[in-house]
Structure 1
Amino acid sequence: MTVAVTDLAADRAAFAYNTRLRPVTASTVKVDIVIALLLRAQREHRALTATERALAERAIKYSDNAATTELWHRIGSGSGLAAVHKKLGLRHTRPGPGDYWGSTVTSATDRLRVLAALSPGRSPLGARNRKYLLSLMMNVTPTQAWGISAAAGRGDRVALKNGWLPREADGGRWTINSIGRVRGGGHDLLIAVLSSRNASMSDGVTTVQHVAELVAAALEGTSAQDG
């Protein structure tokens, strides 16, 4: 398990655990891939085509692997994604080989750097593109809305992308990841909870949700004390 969380509404509020762990992204890398697509469109001074929008929606809202593979090729596969990761300031992320985009190696802190690209500030994405991708993440299909949503309180807005993958390299055990943003009530949390070697998908989901809830609550308490 590795965790990173920060509160954009409180500069000093941040937490990270087991940051040396380098799990694979599973489907959380779909956020990176859509960012790469949007940046390419920006360079070409155009909006996404209808086909690109449909592929992006399927990749984020429904975690469609075929749509993601099509986008993977459109952005230049691993080398294209690596160039975007450099632009985003990622330090520990290495794109997966061939078409195995879900085997991209990462860190929890790098997942926060990806999420930060969807926030105002130094993001290379324009405001319209940031809003577009966040809207997709806010409207994932209900069966995939688990994970960091457990950290949300009443009235909070949640934008997330989850990943789940049984790995032969881990003896069939599951990688279960959840990344996203929780906003409301004076906080604006970016959260990444990544885990590997879970006995089952359900065990991993339960663990990730429990950790997200605990870390967010602890961070809220710290922010309140600092204030």
Structure 2
Amino acid sequence: MQRLRGELIQCASGKPRLARALTRDIARSLADRTSRASLVLYDRTTRTSCTYRADERYDSASIVKPIVLGALLHVRDGELSAEEQRLARKMIANSDNASTYVLWDIVGPDTIECFLDDVGMTNTAVDEAGYMGLTQVTARDQASLLAMLTGEDDAVLDEDERAYILGLMHDVQEDQRWGAPAGAPADAAVQVKNGWLRRSDANLRDPSDRGDWKVNSMSALTGRAYDSGLVVLTENNRVPEDAHPDAGWFYGMDTIEGVARSIHRNLYPRR
């Protein structure tokens, strides 16, 4: 364990030296970042896990989209119309918001809540006003979603349904494949979903909502000997005065990728 800004980075592993190295390097990667960050890592092959502020809530932005698709598949027993499949691909692979809201309205908040309960994502809260990107998520809950999708338990979604979601996450368009996959081995199959949101420019009452960027990333590595998931959530990615408006977005991306590279370097030192 190592304390960073009053909170513990905790790693455990079947390889104790790996746990110590991960704890040290995650702390180093975040030490000079001004972002607020949370993360969860699991790696089934080495029986390794890491957490940091795992239960703190963040605006989801687009990482809510696999939840929407999971809920739709769950309520439809995996049977989607051709139009729903078209919208699902645009929602996940292209992060298209208009398609997401069509599916969001089809599913409805009650069905989404039921799906969250079934997965065990008990600390995730759908926005009462219906803004999908303002769903409140935690790194731990998003990692539970990844673990369910890459696992073998058919209790929530069956093998074909899980593979369908992972397939769309594998097909995410090239310019959205940043974040949690950074530093991953070239021969790993990468499934990724990212989210980014700049909520407002004027609300100074809430210290987490000052027009700064919220930038989130989640990925699963599968194939060969790979079976891991990583979620990194960030906010308060500052936009300096006179800087390009996207500066905070890039800062959040850099924060996430610094964490991801430090993790993958330790998990896969010779790959």
Same fold (TM over 0.5): yes
In the superposition, the TM-score normalised over structure 1's length comes to 0.90
**Which of 105, 110, 116 lines up with 1:79 in the alignment?**
110
SS at match of 1:188: strand
**Which of 58, 63, 76 lines up with 1:41 in the alignment?**
76
Q: Distance in 2 between matches of 1:201 and 1:5?
A: 22
Q: Distance in 2 between matches of 1:7 and 1:39?
A: 26
Q: Which amino acid aligns with 2:250?
A: S
Q: Which amino acid aligns with 2:186?
A: R
Partner of 1:148: 180
Mapping of residues 159-198 of structure 1, within 5 Å: 159-168=191-200, 170-184=209-223, 186-198=225-237
Q: Distance in 1 between matches of 2:130 and 2:171?
A: 26
SS at match of 1:36: helix
Q: Answer yes or no: is the 8 Å Cα contact 2:176–2:194 preserved in 1.
A: yes
Q: Which amino acid aligns with 2:253?
A: V
Q: Distance in 2 between matches of 1:212 and 1:96?
A: 29
Q: Distance in 1 between matches of 2:265 and 2:149?
A: 23
Q: Distance in 1 between matches of 2:228 and 2:151?
A: 14
Give the structure with the higher percent helix. 1
Structure 2: stretches of 5+ with no match in the other structure: 1-36, 201-205, 239-247
Structure 1: stretches of 5+ with no match in the other structure: none
**Which of 154, 158, 164 lines up with 1:132 in the alignment?**
164
Partner of 1:8: 44
The alpha-carbon deviation at position 13 of structure 1 amounts to 0.6
Q: Answer yes or no: is the 8 Å Cα contact 1:13–1:219 preserved in 2.
A: no
Number of equivalences: 217
Q: Distance in 1 between matches of 2:129 and 2:69?
A: 18
Distance of aligned partners of 1:20 and 1:113 in 2 relative to their CA distance in 1, 3 Å threshold = closer
Q: Which amino acid aligns with 2:234?
A: S
Q: Distance in 1 between matches of 2:101 and 2:93?
A: 15
Superposed CA RMSD: 1.7
**Which of 53, 57, 69 lines up with 1:18 in the alignment?**
53
Q: Distance in 1 between matches of 2:186 and 2:97?
A: 32
SS at match of 1:155: coil
Bigger radius of gyration = 2
Q: Which amino acid aligns with 2:50?
A: F
Give percent identity, aligned residues only: 32
The alpha-carbon deviation at position 183 of structure 1 amounts to 2.5
**Which of 55, 63, 72 lines up with 2:87 in the alignment?**
55
